[in-house]
Amino acid sequence: MNNFIYSLNATMPIFLVMILGWWLKKIHFLTDDFVSVADKLVFKVALPVFVFKDIAGADLSNDFSLKFVLFCFFGTCIFFGATWLLAEIFIKDKSMIGSFVQGSFRGSAAILGIAFAQNIYGSSGLVPMMIVASIPLFNIFSVIVLMRSANAGDTDKKAVIKKTLKGIVTNPIIIGIVAGIPFALLKVQFPVIIEKALTSVASLSTPLALIAIGGGFSTGAALKKWKPTLVASIIKLVIIPGIFLPVAVAMGFRNEEMVALLILTGAPTTVSSYIMAKNMNNDGVLASGIVVMTTLLSSVTLTATIFILRSTGVI
């Protein structure tokens, strides 16, 4: 019973805040403009400051794990490649493959990953290292599979590649992580004034992000192409973590490492996957449906997985 309560405490507060965002939008207390600006504020300011502060205060000599980073890197490569291969074999409508594959492998590692780690351990834990190892790959692989599915005549491939590479280098979260490393290595202590200012800005990240995610829900989208949406959701939330987490346990990963790997493999599909699919002439309806359905179902799958990991002493 204690493990079940632990699991609920780890996941339910996050989804309750998301539900609050959805409800506030439904009663028109929040506007589309607010949700859009909140997304930008979180992504470009609050989250980068959060990870910068966390990394800057970390003991990298003890916290860094090359084994963990390599597992995240190669794990991402494997489940992307396997999902794409299966999609090419079984999906008859080839125009759906890009959105299907991206929705099946690309999770919301940054926002929800930090939220879960903070809920369980009080800090971002090893999530920043997981982000460094996987987020660039998420972007690169997404562009590859979306370009493959898009109409070549309507997509400027060189411009897309250039924009993606620039987006990776200028990604605010990655910049925040990289900027924090010298401070951690030099063990810099911030003045109290700066420390409090950073803490105030960083504290905006999780609640504001979750409210914005809830405010952006469109539940009808999940029903328009429900069969491929459901299959992609099962791959994202059940099959990928069901394969990779036991391997991670067998390799000796525990506690904060396992929480970060759970987010890498089992987090719901990121909202940015819909934006990329729509802007690269792919199936925007399917992409939107996968985002909505994985977010809704993950309240159950993540809670159940954390319960199993907790009950077996892995976290």
The pLDDT tens digits for 188-211 are 899 999 999 999 998 888 888 888
- What pLDDT, on the 0 to 100 scale, is given for residue 27? 94
Q: How many CB atoms lie within 10 A of CB 281?
A: 18
Instruction: State mean pLDDT over 95-115.
Output: 87
More confident residue, 292 or 236: 236
Helix ranges (DSSP H) in 42-185: 47-56, 60-63, 66-90, 97-105, 111-121, 127-149, 157-169, 172-185
pLDDT of residue 30: 92
Q: How confident is the model at residue 288 (pLDDT cuts 50, 70, 90)?
A: confident
pLDDT band at 10 (very low <50, low <70, confident <90, very high): confident
Q: How far apart (Å, rounded) are the C-alpha atoms in residues 80 and 309?
A: 24
Name the pTM for this structure: 0.81
Do the beta carbons of residue 263 and residue 256 sit within 8 Å?
no
Span 107-118, pLDDT tens digits: 987 777 777 777
Q: In whole numbers, what is the pLDDT of the chain averaged over residues?
A: 85
Using CA atoms, how far apart are residues 315 and 297, in angstroms rounded to an integer? Answer: 22
Domain positions in the chain are 2-32+63-107+133-167+205-311
**CA–CA dist 288, 278 (Å, integer):** 9
Q: What percent of the chain has pLDDT over 90?
A: 37
Q: Are 118 and 259 in contact (CB under 8 A)?
A: no
Which residues have CB under 8 Å from 10's CB, separation 6+?
116, 119, 120, 303, 306
Give the model's pLDDT for residue 144: 84
Q: What is the mean pLDDT of residues 232-237?
A: 96
Q: Give me the pLDDT at residue 152, please.
A: 44
Whether 101 and 83 have beta carbons less than 8 Å apart is answered as yes
DSSP 28: T
Q: In b/e form, how buried is each residue of 198-235, taking b as 16+ CB within 10 angstroms?
A: beebbebbbbbbbbbbbbbbeeebbeebeebbebbbbb
108 within 8 A of 169, measured Cβ to Cβ: no
pLDDT for the residue 73: 93
The answer, yes or no, to whether residue 133 has pLDDT greater than 60, is yes
Output the CA angle 103-107-108, nearest 5 degrees: 125
Q: Choose among 240, 216, 184, 230: nearest CA to 111.
A: 216
Task: Tell me the average pLDDT across 243-265.
Answer: 93
pLDDT in the model for residue 273: 85
Mean pLDDT of 149-165: 65
Between 134 and 121, residue with greater pLDDT: 134
51-94, pLDDT tens digit by residue? 888 788 877 777 778 899 999 999 999 999 999 999 999 998 88
Residue 4's CB is within 10 A of a number of other CB atoms, namely 14
